[in-house]
Structure 1
């Protein structure tokens, strides 16, 4: 079973898109999956139903930060690496899906309760969002496997 399958299964079992993506990589990066799901929870649904950045994208950016991010003052190379990989991820996700913003991806403003209900009723969270989760993990797998 692939990591994309694991993330999709997590998402379909009720975790946010951000939690599904972030927790799929967390244990191999030294963070238990339960804590990762808690950290990422608020980023789902375009950052807590605000329609902003897709949670699958947020979860992926957290993975990049956990692996490459700056943890010591003065380690500007870590910041540069993290930012470069984040931009690479965003370019690739956008190329596949046309955007990284939930409202643009889904065609509904998730900050509007009526739009949120319509998006849910249309099945977009199942049909589209699980695809964004899979895409985020596949793109991350490619980025993380590159030699550094």
Structure 2
């Protein structure tokens, strides 16, 4: 079992300092899973904003990385570990989708980050602060519930 101390305020502070959603979630959980925070921040750096194309939410990808750290298979033929990881992945995704209605960044934000005008709207409406900090907290709460 892991415990996180992520608050919306802590997530917002990270965003204000240039740390993205995927990084926030993985860095929050990684030390308890055997990975140092700096390495976690580097690994997750390319996954924020739905990999900056509005696809899978960075909070979700950061959480899936955490699940991989805990349950990931690394031995050829280890179907038991692989199946457990897939079970935990599906459990996480179902809970996140139930909480927020989607797993896709552009659907969660209501804007497509690949369109400059829409990306500007995200910034104008301060959605990274107001919405994404909530999404990061939800991701960490779900991880607390499903990681043994």
Question: Fold-level match, TM-score > 0.5?
Answer: yes
The counterpart of 1:94, out of the listed 97, 100, 103, is: 97
Normalized against structure 1, the TM-score is what? 0.91
Aligned counterpart for 1:13 among listed residues 12, 17, 21: 17
Larger RCO, structure (CA 8 Å, separation 6 or more): 2
Greater Cα offset, 4-13 or 27-36: 4-13
What pairs with 1:2-81 in structure 2 (closer than 5 Å)? Answer: 2-5=4-7, 8=11, 9-47=13-51, 49-81=52-84
Cα RMSD of the aligned pairs, angstroms, is 1.7
- SS of residue in 2 equivalent to 1:128: helix
Q: Tell me, which stretches of 5 or more residues in structure 2 are unaligned? A: none
Distance 2:145 2:102 in 1: 19
Q: TM-score, normalised by structure 2?
A: 0.91
Residues 7 and 20 of structure 1 are in contact (CA less than 8 Å); yes or no, is this contact kept in structure 2? no
Cα distance between partner residues in 2 of 1:23 and 1:137 = 10
Q: Secondary structure at the match of 1:110?
A: coil
Q: Deviations over 1:25-68 (max 9, x none)?
A: 11121111101101001100111x20100000000000000100
In the alignment, structure 1 residue 111 sits paired with structure 2 residue 114: yes
Equivalent pairs, count: 144
